[in-house]
Amino acid sequence: MAESRPHKLVLASGSPRRIELLQQAGIEPDRVFPADVDETPLRAEHPRSLAKRLSKDKAEKALVSLMAEAHYAPGFVLAADTVVAVGRRILPKAETIDDAANCLQLLSGRSHRVYSGICVVAPGGKLRQRLVETRVRFKRLSREEIEKYIASGEWRGKAGGYAVQGLAGSFVVKLVGSYTNVVGLPLYETVALLSGEGFKTHANWPASGLS
């Protein structure tokens, strides 16, 4: 028998990867409500600070929009932002071939860090955040590998110009930390944050009926 879950979950992101990761954990957002915020880093802003700030901005903007709706009912709002950086240099979400090529050339044969800020606003208005960091090292990429990867189109819209869950997984020599963080949403920390605020994270888990 399914566990009751009185409060709804709103995901303040339209990312298919984040939706799929939540579903992998047995969590089905009741609503997907992308929050469009300016993601331009502030002057001298550290990648860690950027990830935390943007996740908070997205959660707060989504909440304000939701509260303005006629039939608003308090629920949980979840937002996240992922930043890829080499040192303090923040890599863009690649939108052009040049963006992707520049990112891949910079990442080739080097280590980089992936930061994800997670923000949860509980029904009572309490806001909690977590920051997750993963270290990733790429192999040295040949010109052909970069050209072939760019031709695949998998880089489009991805922070750092790659998607680790696709072809670029073969570039990874070493990964220290959360793999799902690199995909776009660190599952362990997200589930822990939601659960800590009272969200029934196991409500949709299937039951075999065995005693």
* Residues involved in catalysis: 81
What number of other Cβ atoms are within 10 A of residue 94's Cβ? 23
How many beta carbons lie within 10 A of that of residue 83, not counting itself?
26
Nearest partner of 101 among 138, 64, 146, 141, judged by Cα = 146
For residue 40, what are the CA distances in angstroms to 16, 20, 50, 92, 123? 22, 26, 9, 9, 29
Q: With beta carbons less than 8 A apart as the criterion, state whether 50 and 83 touch.
A: yes
DSSP 8-state class, residue 110: S
Q: What is the DSSP letter of 93?
A: B
Per-residue tokens: 194: 């939601």
